Protein backbone atom coordinates (compact mmCIF):
# COMPACT_ATOMS: atom_id res chain seq x y z
CA UNK A 1 0.00 0.00 0.00
CA UNK A 2 3.01 2.26 0.02
CA UNK A 3 3.70 2.57 3.73
CA UNK A 4 6.02 0.78 6.09
CA UNK A 5 4.40 0.11 9.43
CA UNK A 6 6.64 -0.29 12.46
CA UNK A 7 5.12 -1.18 15.81
CA UNK A 8 7.02 -0.06 18.88
CA UNK A 9 6.82 -0.84 22.56
CA UNK A 10 9.33 -0.65 25.40
CA UNK A 11 9.77 -4.42 25.33
CA UNK A 12 13.04 -5.81 23.97
CA UNK A 13 13.27 -7.49 20.56
CA UNK A 14 13.47 -10.83 22.41
CA UNK A 15 10.08 -10.33 23.98
CA UNK A 16 8.69 -9.38 20.57
CA UNK A 17 9.99 -12.65 19.17
CA UNK A 18 8.44 -14.65 21.99
CA UNK A 19 5.13 -12.84 21.71
CA UNK A 20 4.83 -13.13 17.94
CA UNK A 21 5.58 -16.84 18.13
CA UNK A 22 3.14 -17.37 20.97
CA UNK A 23 0.08 -15.30 20.13
CA UNK A 24 -2.04 -16.73 17.32
CA UNK A 25 -3.46 -13.32 16.53
CA UNK A 26 0.03 -12.21 15.50
CA UNK A 27 0.76 -15.21 13.28
CA UNK A 28 0.35 -13.18 10.06
CA UNK A 29 2.34 -10.15 11.18
CA UNK A 30 4.80 -9.04 8.50
CA UNK A 31 5.90 -5.63 9.82
CA UNK A 32 8.99 -5.01 11.97
CA UNK A 33 8.35 -4.91 15.72
CA UNK A 34 10.50 -2.17 17.20
CA UNK A 35 12.08 -2.33 20.63
CA UNK A 36 12.43 0.87 22.65
CA UNK A 37 13.45 -0.27 26.15
CA UNK A 38 15.11 3.06 26.98
CA UNK A 39 11.99 4.95 25.91
CA UNK A 40 14.13 7.33 23.86
CA UNK A 41 12.08 6.98 20.69
CA UNK A 42 8.79 7.14 22.57
CA UNK A 43 10.07 10.32 24.27
CA UNK A 44 10.97 11.84 20.90
CA UNK A 45 7.33 11.44 19.92
CA UNK A 46 6.04 12.58 23.29
CA UNK A 47 4.40 9.27 24.26
CA UNK A 48 6.75 7.97 26.93
CA UNK A 49 5.27 7.54 30.40
CA UNK A 50 8.34 7.76 32.62
CA UNK A 51 6.58 6.59 35.72
CA UNK A 52 5.43 3.35 34.14
CA UNK A 53 8.27 2.93 31.67
CA UNK A 54 5.71 2.32 28.94
CA UNK A 55 4.64 3.96 25.72
CA UNK A 56 1.16 5.41 25.34
CA UNK A 57 -0.98 4.32 22.40
CA UNK A 58 0.35 6.72 19.78
CA UNK A 59 0.19 6.49 16.01
CA UNK A 60 2.30 8.77 13.83
CA UNK A 61 2.17 9.14 10.06
CA UNK A 62 5.39 10.39 8.45
CA UNK A 63 5.75 11.39 4.80
CA UNK A 64 8.49 9.95 2.53
CA UNK A 65 10.23 13.32 2.90
CA UNK A 66 10.35 12.80 6.65
CA UNK A 67 7.68 15.24 7.83
CA UNK A 68 5.34 14.27 10.66
CA UNK A 69 1.84 14.84 9.27
CA UNK A 70 -0.55 13.14 11.70
CA UNK A 71 -0.61 11.95 15.27
CA UNK A 72 -3.17 10.25 17.45
CA UNK A 73 -2.45 9.46 21.08
CA UNK A 74 -4.77 7.62 23.48
CA UNK A 75 -4.40 6.71 27.14
CA UNK A 76 -3.48 3.09 27.91
CA UNK A 77 -7.01 1.76 28.17
CA UNK A 78 -8.32 2.89 24.80
CA UNK A 79 -7.50 1.27 21.47
CA UNK A 80 -7.19 3.08 18.20
CA UNK A 81 -9.53 2.55 15.28
CA UNK A 82 -7.65 1.04 12.35
CA UNK A 83 -10.29 2.13 9.82
CA UNK A 84 -9.57 5.70 10.85
CA UNK A 85 -5.84 5.13 10.39
CA UNK A 86 -6.50 3.78 6.89
CA UNK A 87 -8.71 6.76 6.13
CA UNK A 88 -6.00 9.20 7.17
CA UNK A 89 -3.32 7.34 5.27
CA UNK A 90 -5.40 7.26 2.06
CA UNK A 91 -6.13 10.97 2.51
CA UNK A 92 -2.40 11.63 2.82
CA UNK A 93 -1.73 9.72 -0.40
CA UNK A 94 -4.39 11.73 -2.21
CA UNK A 95 -3.18 15.07 -0.84
CA UNK A 96 0.43 14.28 -1.76
CA UNK A 97 -0.73 14.11 -5.38
CA UNK A 98 -3.20 16.99 -5.22
CA UNK A 99 -1.44 19.64 -3.21
CA UNK A 100 -4.05 22.30 -3.89
CA UNK A 101 -6.84 20.24 -2.30
CA UNK A 102 -8.15 19.56 1.18
CA UNK A 103 -9.94 16.44 2.42
CA UNK A 104 -13.05 17.41 4.39
CA UNK A 105 -14.15 15.53 7.50
CA UNK A 106 -16.44 13.14 5.62
CA UNK A 107 -13.76 12.13 3.12
CA UNK A 108 -13.22 8.40 3.31
CA UNK A 109 -11.56 7.25 0.14
CA UNK A 110 -10.31 8.15 -3.32
CA UNK A 111 -13.23 9.55 -5.30
CA UNK A 112 -14.92 11.31 -2.40
CA UNK A 113 -15.41 15.05 -2.62
CA UNK A 114 -12.48 17.28 -1.80
CA UNK A 115 -12.24 21.04 -1.45
CA UNK A 116 -10.00 23.42 -3.36
CA UNK A 117 -9.34 26.34 -1.05
CA UNK A 118 -9.57 29.67 -2.86
CA UNK A 119 -11.10 33.08 -2.47
CA UNK A 120 -14.19 31.81 -4.36
CA UNK A 121 -14.80 29.12 -1.77
CA UNK A 122 -15.03 31.51 1.17
CA UNK A 123 -18.55 31.21 2.61
CA UNK A 124 -19.50 28.63 -0.05
CA UNK A 125 -18.26 25.38 1.47
CA UNK A 126 -21.79 23.97 1.81
CA UNK A 127 -22.41 24.30 -1.92
CA UNK A 128 -19.00 22.90 -2.77
CA UNK A 129 -19.69 19.72 -0.86
CA UNK A 130 -23.04 18.93 -2.52
Q: CA-CA distance, 38 to 43, in Å (whole number)? A: 9
Closest CB 77 distance from other proteins, rounded Å: 7
The kind and range of the H/E element at 49 are strand 48-49
Cα Rg of the chain, angstroms: 19
Beta strand pairing call for 48-49 and 54-55: antiparallel
Considering only 44-52, 97-105, 106-114, 115-123, which stretch makes contact with other proteins by CB under 8 A? 44-52
x/- string (CB under 8 A) for other proteins, residues 86-115?
---x--xx----------------------
Q: CA-CA distance, 108 to 88, in Å (whole number)? A: 8
Shorter beta-carbon distance to other proteins: residue 17 or 116: 17
Instruction: List residues near other proteins by CB under 8 A.
Output: 2-20, 22-23, 26, 29-36, 41-47, 52, 54-71, 76-79, 85, 89, 92-93
Amino acid sequence: MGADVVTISCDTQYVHLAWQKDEKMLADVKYPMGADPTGNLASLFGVYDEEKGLALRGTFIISPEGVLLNSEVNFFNMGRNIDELMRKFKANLHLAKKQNEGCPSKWKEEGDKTLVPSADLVGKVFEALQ
